[in-house]
Chains A and B, each alone.
Chain A
Amino acid sequence: MLSPVKIWRRQKEIRKILGKEGIIISWTKIYVATDEFKKQAPYFIVLIELEDKKRVIGQLVDFDKEKLNFGLKVKAVLRRIKEIKEEDIIPYGVKFKLVDEN
C-alpha cells in the first residue's frame, strides 16, 4: 500500500503534469503485471513527450485500440491507478487519453 505521506508528496508532482498535452514516442501492452495491476491486465503503457519536451510514462486509457499509433496526441488526466485493499487510501495518478483531433 502507498502510505498517506507518500501520496501527499506525490500529489505535488501530479499537479504539474495534469492537463498537459504531448505525443506518443513509444508504447507497449503489458500482459504480465505485478499483483497491484493484475486485474487491469492487459493494459497499455505509453511514453509521452510533453509540449515542454519533458518525457513521462503512463497508462493510455479510454481509447479505440485500432487507433493506437506512434506520434498521436494525448492529454494527461487524473485516474485511480491501482488495486487496493478495502481500507487503503485510493491512490490517484496520471494516465493519458487520446485527444479528439487524432
Chain B
Amino acid sequence: MIAVVGYYSTKFGELWERSLFDLTKEAVNEVLKQTALEIKEIDAIFFANMLAGVLENNLHSSAKLAEIFNINIPIFRVEAACASGGMAVFLANQYLKANTNKTVLVVGAEKMTDFSPEQVTYGLSAAASSQEQEAGLTFPGLYALMANFYLHKYHYNEENLAYVSVKNHFHGSLNSKAHFRKKIIVDNVLESPYVAYPLKVLDSSPISDGAAALVLTNDKEKIKKIKNKAILLSCNLATDSISLAKRKNLDEILATKIAAEKAFKEAKIKPSEIQVAEVHDCFSIAEILAMEDLGFWEKGEGGKLITQFPTMIDKGDRLIVNTSGGLKASGHPVGATGVKQVGEIFLQLTNQAEKRQVKNVKYGLTHNVGGSGGTAVVSILAVSS
C-alpha cells in the first residue's frame, strides 16, 4: 500500500520576496514538520520544475537541493511542462512500487513573476512544437483552436466557457492559499480582454509563484503512526503528439482518456464513485474537455452542463471539481500544480479542507496535463479506512 501522509503548499501568487529555492525550502520544511519526520528519514526526492533552466539559467537542481537540506540521497528533477508535478508523483509512485519500506518527498516549485509576460510566454513556448512556434501560435492559442472547434461543433458560445471560471473563482475565495480570492460573475469573464479568440484573460490561469510538497510512503510503521493519510490507489501517465496538427480529434485530449482508463482499472473503481476531483483547467475549455475525457460527462455535453454549476460547492452534489480554485483561481506555478492537485485531494480525504471541505468523501481524482495534451497524468486516491 502506498499512502500520502503529508502535504504543504506555500501561498500561490506574486511572491517577489521569495526565490525558487526559498519556496522549495518552505514547502519541504513545513511538510516534514507536519508529519514529524526528519529529512534523514527521506529516501528520495522527486522535484518538479519546468522553467528555471530556460528563464534563470538554473539547472542541476538535484545538487542544489542536496546542499540546502544537507543530504546525499537520490534527487530527480522532473520536467513535462505543466504536467511536471503529475509526472513527479507518477515517478514517486513507481519508485515506491519497486522498493519496500521507503519514504519519499514529491516537491513542485516554480518562480514565474520575476519575468515579463513576454519572457514567460517565450519560456512556456519551449514546450511547444517548433512548427507551431514558427507560425506564431502561442500556448493560449493552442487551447483557443481547440475551444473554437468545440464551440463550433457543439453549437455553444463563449458564455458556456465562462461558467468554469466563475465556479473556480468561487472555490478560490474559500482557499487561503489561492492566488485569486475574488468572486467573479459571467459578465466579468465576457468583458475581459481577449488573449486568443475565443479565450479571454478570465478564461486563463495566471502566472504564479509557489511550491507544494507531499510525503509518500509504503513503510507500514510510518503509515500506522501518522494520523492524516490517504491511499494512492493508482497514478497513470500517457503521452501524445506535441503538435495539435498531428492529433486525430480536436475536441478531446487522448492522453487524458488513456491515463484515466488505466487509472480507473488499476484502482478498481468507476468514474461515478469519484466525489472530488482536481482537473487541469489551464483554460476554461480545458476543464470541459477534461470532464468529458475523464468519463464524468458525455462528449459534447460539458458546454451545456457547466451552466448549471453541477460541480460547484453548495450547488453540486455528486462530484465537486477544483475545490482549490483550480489552476484558474488557485494559481498555476507550473511545476507545483500537479503536486498541489494531489495535496488538495489529500486535504479533502482527511477532512482538512476547511471552508471548502466536501462531506463524506471516499474517493478523489487528480488530472494534470502538459502542454495542450502531450502528457497527461491521472491519479486516484481513497480515504484510509
- How many residues of chain A are within 8 Å of chain B by beta carbon? 32
- B117 at the binding interface (Cβ < 8 Å): yes
- B121 at the binding interface (Cβ < 8 Å): yes
Is A31 a contact partner of B135 (Cβ separation < 8 A)?
A: no
Please tell me which stretch of B52-60, B140-148, B231-239, B257-265 contacts chain A, meaning at least 4 of its Cβ atoms lie within 8 angstroms of it: B140-148
Is A43 a contact partner of B136 (Cβ separation < 8 A)?
A: yes
In residues 29-70 of chain A, which contact B (Cβ within 8 Å)?
Answer: 29-38, 40, 42-43, 45, 47, 55-59, 70
Measured CB to CB, the nearest residue on chain A to B124 is A34
> B132 contacts which chain A residues (CB < 8 A)?
57
Is A93 a contact partner of B137 (Cβ separation < 8 A)?
A: no
Contacts A26-B146, A47-B145; is A33 near B197 (CB within 8 Å)? no
Is B134 a contact partner of A35 (Cβ separation < 8 A)?
A: no
Bound Cα distance A91, B117 (Å): 24
Contacts A32-B117, A34-B122; is A26 near B250 (CB within 8 Å)? yes
Bound Cα distance A25, B137 (Å): 15
Measured CB to CB, the nearest residue on chain B to A95 is B135
Is B141 a contact partner of A25 (Cβ separation < 8 A)?
A: no
- B196 at the binding interface (Cβ < 8 Å): yes
Is B137 a contact partner of A31 (Cβ separation < 8 A)?
A: no
> B316 contacts which chain A residues (CB < 8 A)?
none
Measured CB to CB, the nearest residue on chain B to A69 is B152
- B244 at the binding interface (Cβ < 8 Å): yes
Measured CB to CB, the nearest residue on chain B to A28 is B144
Is B136 a contact partner of A81 (Cβ separation < 8 A)?
A: yes
Bound Cα distance A81, B135 (Å): 7
Bound Cα distance A82, B137 (Å): 12
> A81 contacts which chain B residues (CB < 8 A)?
134-136
> A56 contacts which chain B residues (CB < 8 A)?
131, 245
Q: Nearest chain B CB to A96's CB is how many angstroms away?
A: 10
Bound Cα distance A47, B138 (Å): 13
Is A30 a contact partner of B246 (Cβ separation < 8 A)?
A: no
Q: Scan A4-25; emit 1 where CB is below 8 A from any B CB, else 0.
A: 0000001001000000000001
Is A31 a contact partner of B148 (Cβ separation < 8 A)?
A: no
Is B250 a contact partner of A30 (Cβ separation < 8 A)?
A: no
Is A32 a contact partner of B140 (Cβ separation < 8 A)?
A: yes
- B156 at the binding interface (Cβ < 8 Å): no
- B118 at the binding interface (Cβ < 8 Å): yes
Is A45 a contact partner of B136 (Cβ separation < 8 A)?
A: yes
Point out the residue from B121, B196, B198 that lies within 8 Å of A34, measured CB to CB: B121
Q: Scan B91-130; emit 1 where CB is below 8 A from any A CB, else 0.
A: 0000000000000000000000000011001100100000
Measured CB to CB, the nearest residue on chain B to A26 is B149
Is B196 a contact partner of A93 (Cβ separation < 8 A)?
A: no
> B137 contacts which chain A residues (CB < 8 A)?
30, 45, 57
Contacts A31-B196, A47-B245, A81-B136; is A26 near B118 (CB within 8 Å)? no
Q: Nearest chain B CB to A24's CB is how many angstroms away?
A: 10
Measured CB to CB, the nearest residue on chain B to A29 is B197
> B146 contacts which chain A residues (CB < 8 A)?
26
Contacts A26-B148, A47-B245; is A40 near B250 (CB within 8 Å)? no
Is A25 a contact partner of B149 (Cβ separation < 8 A)?
A: yes
Q: Nearest chain A CB to B46's CB is how many angstroms away?
A: 31
Measured CB to CB, the nearest residue on chain B to A6 is B130
> A45 contacts which chain B residues (CB < 8 A)?
135-137, 141, 145
17 interchain pairs (CB within 8 A)?
A25-B250, A26-B145, A26-B149, A28-B144, A29-B194, A30-B138, A30-B196, A32-B121, A32-B195, A33-B138, A45-B145, A57-B132, A57-B135, A57-B137, A57-B243, A57-B245, A59-B136
- B contact residues vs A (CB 8 Å cutoff): 117-118, 121-122, 125, 131-132, 134-138, 140-141, 144-146, 148-149, 152, 193-198, 243-246, 250
Give me 13 other A-B pairs in contact (C-beta within 8 A), A30-B137, A33-B121, A34-B138 excluded: A13-B131, A28-B198, A31-B193, A31-B195, A32-B140, A34-B118, A43-B136, A47-B145, A56-B245, A57-B132, A59-B135, A93-B134, A93-B135
